[in-house]
Copies of this chain bind each other. A is one copy, B any other.
Amino acid sequence: MQATISRSTRLGIPRTIRAVLDEPSSSITTVQGWLRSIRAHKNVSFLEISDGSSSRNLQAVVKGSPMKDLEGLALGSSLVLKGEMKESRGDQPHELSVHTIEVTGESSAAYPIQKKYVPPDVLRDHAHLRFRTTKNGALARLRDAVMREWHDHFEKEEYVHIHTPIMTSSDCEGAGEAFRITTDPITPPSAPSTQKHDPFFPSPAYLTVSSQLHLEAPTHALSRTYTLSPTFRAEPSATSRHLAEFYMLEAELAFVETLDDLMDTLETAIKDVLGGRRMTRARRDQEVIAKSLMEDKAETPSADEETDPVERSDMFGRISGSEPFGRVTYTEAVEILKERHAQTSFDFPPTWGAGLQSEHEKYLARQVYRGPVFVTDYPRNLKPFYMRLNPKDHLDRETVACFDLLVPGIGELAGGSLREERLDRLIESIDKANMQREDYEWYLDLRRFGSVKHGGWGMGFDRFMCWLTGIGNVRDVVAFPRWKGHCKY
């Protein structure tokens, strides 16, 4: 039967290609999607159609001599196809034997992403179109699956999700780098801003840099809370690891008394998520991404992809298994790094009291522990005011009950701590950090009325996606990335 092309057929909502491939029907099947590739032969043409529901495309077979309309069809065109699903002699079990094709929206030679290979930086400049590539489609589905596994994990563990505020009057960690919100009109920089304007809020308001402090309030009522929430840093350095807008997964837990118990909750969570029921299908998307990264590496050897492909492909099996994550104190870690410094020659010599550099973190995870490792009990001066103070060590040094979780290729993936629940010490820490106590009265109230031992952690969700996929640039795991100088769309 020769296919005919019409441009007027009307349709309801079609089944997705995923459904059509998973349950091929013997009756007439209608498919809508976008043209990914076309191979026209003398008596038969093969079209690859995608609707984004699966990393698998539908192969559509059009018999008869190639028609004029089909010949000139640009990639990216949207089509309605009707036909029968039949067993295929190609790579896929089934293919669509086409009866009719309708072109619903044409594409053109100007389509910016029609080449077989488009480098990541070009795609980044076409963020509104890059979802259409195999890699970015897979990434969107994988991110969706991972988000759902996290939500399911927390539900199973009886955490309540809280929509923490984005606009805030406080600057959580006193680290600066907060964006400010205003309704003031923009004034030219040289003109005197004499214009009187009624501010929307009575005092300065910022975009949140962490939901943690806010999350501690419901935790003192609901016991187990978490949030997956946008977070913002006016980070001036434009590295491949930092965004101005990113998603943070943050959890708080009442009645947790030891750092080991707290780390257990995070380690269990990660293993649970990676071993989740959606991960079988997600793994196919992960493999598509891995293949695309190999291509990036071949085409652009300078690409900032960092994770070892072998490690990545084995990740779900290995990480979700029973092997425990490493655990080491900061003090012990510095000793290990000092020992290795002789052969390894770090750019920054490791010293007790200084922060771990990215090179140290990656070395610990990849070379020493060959997998995820918790580094615990950092010096007090390196960490924010709210972390619980440990007893002094035998050298009279002060540390706090905290951890950073380091993973190969990424470095710091998550961080957490027991929170200082003792009112007097918390006040002392606020004063020591030169913060304004009156700004934190509400936070102190949590210690004044029914204080409990509690702790929590935060993980960059986008960085987690980098870890899972091996994508080296965090701008490529986010739908519309924002960083210094870039806020397109």
| A residues in contact (CB < 8 Å) with B | 10-14, 16, 18-19, 32-35, 50-53, 76-78, 104-108, 110-111, 127-129, 131-132, 136-137, 140-141, 143-144, 147-148, 151, 155, 158, 160-170, 179-184, 186-187, 189-197, 200-205, 207, 214, 217-218, 220-224, 229-230, 232, 234, 236, 244-245, 247, 253-257, 261, 265, 421, 442-443, 445-453, 478-480, 482, 484-489
Contact = CB atoms under 8 A, between A and B. Distances in A.
A190 B196 CA distance: 9
Contacts of A201: 482, 485-487
A143 B222 CA distance: 13
21 contacts: A11-B257, A19-B158, A52-B160, A52-B222, A76-B449, A128-B443, A128-B446, A129-B217, A129-B445, A131-B217, A132-B220, A140-B222, A143-B163, A148-B155, A165-B480, A165-B482, A181-B207, A200-B234, A200-B484, A214-B489, A442-B488
A180 to B, nearest CB: 5
B197 A167 contact: no
A202 B110 CA distance: 27
A58 to B, nearest CB: 13
Contacts of A129: 217, 221, 445, 449
A143 to B, nearest CB: 7
Contacts of A193: 187, 189, 191-193
A227 to B, nearest CB: 9
Contacts of A217: 127-129, 131, 479, 489
Given A192-B193, A485-B202, A489-B169, A108 B448 contact: yes
B179 A180 contact: no
Given A132-B221, A201-B485, 11 more contacts: A16-B158, A104-B453, A110-B448, A131-B217, A165-B482, A179-B183, A180-B186, A191-B192, A201-B486, A201-B487, A442-B488
A453 B191 CA distance: 48
A189 to B, nearest CB: 6
Given A181-B179, A261-B12, A449-B76, A222 B137 contact: yes
Contact of A478 (B131, B163, B448, B453): B163
Contacts of A183: 179-180, 234
Closest 8 A/B residue pairs (Cβ): A105-B451, A52-B222, A131-B221, A192-B192, A78-B450, A128-B217, A165-B480, A132-B221
B160 A141 contact: yes
A194 to B, nearest CB: 7
Among A16, A105, A196, residue most surrounded by chain B Cβ atoms (within 10 Å): A105
Copies in the complex: 2
B200 A189 contact: no
Contact of A245 (B11, B166, B202, B224): B166
B221 A167 contact: no
Given A245-B167, A489-B168, A204 B181 contact: no
A76 to B, nearest CB: 5
B132 A489 contact: no
A286 to B, nearest CB: 16
A147 B161 contact: yes
Contact of A148 (B137, B151, B247, B478): B151
A378 to B, nearest CB: 23
A235 B208 CA distance: 20
Contacts of A191: 192-193
Nearest to A225: B140
A77 B222 CA distance: 14
B32 A128 contact: no
B223 A52 contact: yes
Among A190, A217, A261, A449, residue most surrounded by chain B Cβ atoms (within 10 Å): A449
Nearest to A16: B158
A257 B78 contact: no
Given A186-B204, A450-B76, A442 B489 contact: yes
A486 B202 CA distance: 7
A165 B245 contact: yes
A57 B405 CA distance: 37
